[in-house]
Structure 1
Amino acid sequence: MILKNLNYPLDFKFKITTISSDFNITDKNGNYVAYVRQKIFKLKDDVIIFNDESKSQELFRIKANQWIDFNASFSITDLVNGKNFGRLARKGMRSFWKSQYNILDENDQQKYQINEDNAWTKVLDGFVGEIPIVGMFTGYFLNPSYTVKDNSGKEFFRLKKMPSLIGRRFQLDRLIDIPDEDESLVVLSFLMMVLLERARG
């Protein structure tokens, strides 16, 4: 199963009416790409990607391989074809300063890397967020971005957190074309990364 004919930019928009971290992915025309649900009260991260908000078809599942580990990785399974699709691996202690993730294919070979563009955005967000009243509005002017590069350093995608009071919207843009299967792997990796980064604040 691959995500085909995606019209960028894609919007990741979190729902505020559920206690779980559910969000919609829609294209530039407002058409559904997927609906993402993170299961709550789980010791390990467990995320299901559906075709849309009706949840009539499960497309992919992403599960953490370990309970608590700075080097945790997340396996992506294609539920339609019942096969391993790839893996997202967090780069340990570096993530405390500047977030970095490796994207690996079904053969466990690293294909791409996600890097936070400016670590100071997160640092400033932490400081300014402690200031009374002013801290409430950091979501409007301190918004990180993340870029996907291949092993040679060529840039393919960029994800930006969009201005909002509670950080509920992200936008993913494709910079250059990429094979469909790799594109699906990157998009799926990004949606898991968004859940992890949003949980960190």
Structure 2
Amino acid sequence: MVLKNLNYPLDFKFKITTLASDFNITDRNGNYVAYVRQKMFKLKEDVIVFSDESRTKELFNIKANQWIDFNASYMMTDLVQGKKFGRLARRGMRSIWKAQYDIIDENDNPIYQINEDNGWVKVFDSFIGEIPILGMFTGYFLNPSYTVKDNAGKEYFRLKKMPSLIGRRFQLERLIDIDDEDESLVILSFLMMVLLERARG
């Protein structure tokens, strides 16, 4: 199962009416790409990607390999074809300053990296967020972005957090063309990363 013929940019928009971390992925025309639901009350992250909000068709599953997520990796399974698709791995200590993840294919080869573009955004967000009243509005002007590069440093995608009061919308741009299967792997990696980074604050 691969996600094909996508019209960028893609919007990741979190729902505010549920306790779970649910969000829709839609294309530039508002058409569904996927609906993402993180299972609640799990020691290890467990995410299901559905075709849409009706949740009748499961496309992918993403599961953590351990319950402490500092050095966890997240295995992605194609539920339509019943096979491992690849995994996302956080770079441990190097992710404290700036978020850094490796995107690894089904043969366990690191093929792309996700890097937070500016680590100072997170620092300022944490600092200003403690200031009464002003801290309520950091979501409008302190918005991180993340870039996907291959091993040669070529840039393929950029994800930006869009201005909002509660930080519930992200937008994904494709910078250059990419193989369909790699494209699906990158999108799955980004949606898992968004869940992880939102949980970290």
Aligned to 1:46: 46
Aligned to 2:37: 37
5 Å-filtered alignment, 1:4-19, equals 4-19=4-19
- In the alignment of these two chains, the number of paired residues is 201
Aligned to 1:27: 27
- Give the Cα–Cα distance (whole angstroms) in 1 for the partners of residues 21 and 96 of structure 2: 22
Structure 2 gaps of 5+ residues are: none
Instruction: Give me the TM-score of the superposition, normalised by structure 2.
Output: 0.99
Instruction: Give me the TM-score of the superposition, normalised by structure 1.
Output: 0.99
Aligned to 1:108: 108
- Over 2 Å off, 4+ runs: none
Question: Does the residue aligned with 2:5 lie in a helix, a strand or coil?
Answer: coil
- Give the Cα–Cα distance (whole angstroms) in 2 for the partners of residues 69 and 186 of structure 1: 20
- Give the Cα–Cα distance (whole angstroms) in 1 for the partners of residues 74 and 150 of structure 2: 19
Aligned to 1:78: 78
Aligned to 2:93: 93
Aligned to 1:180: 180
Identity of aligned residues (%): 82
- TM-aligned CA deviation for residue 50 of structure 1: 0.1
- TM-aligned CA deviation for residue 71 of structure 1: 1.2
- Give the Cα–Cα distance (whole angstroms) in 2 for the partners of residues 87 and 107 of structure 1: 10
- Give the Cα–Cα distance (whole angstroms) in 1 for the partners of residues 175 and 127 of structure 2: 32
Q: Which amino acid aligns with 1:153?
A: G
Q: Which amino acid aligns with 2:96?
A: F
Q: Which amino acid aligns with 1:147?
A: T
Aligned to 1:151: 151
Q: Deviations over 1:69-128 (max 9, x none)?
A: 421100000000000000000000111111000000000101100000000000000000
Q: Which amino acid aligns with 2:95?
A: S
- Give the Cα–Cα distance (whole angstroms) in 2 for the partners of residues 46 and 181 of structure 1: 22
Aligned to 2:64: 64
Deviates more, 1:62-71 or 1:174-183: 62-71
Structure 1 gaps of 5+ residues are: none
Q: Which amino acid aligns with 1:64?
A: A
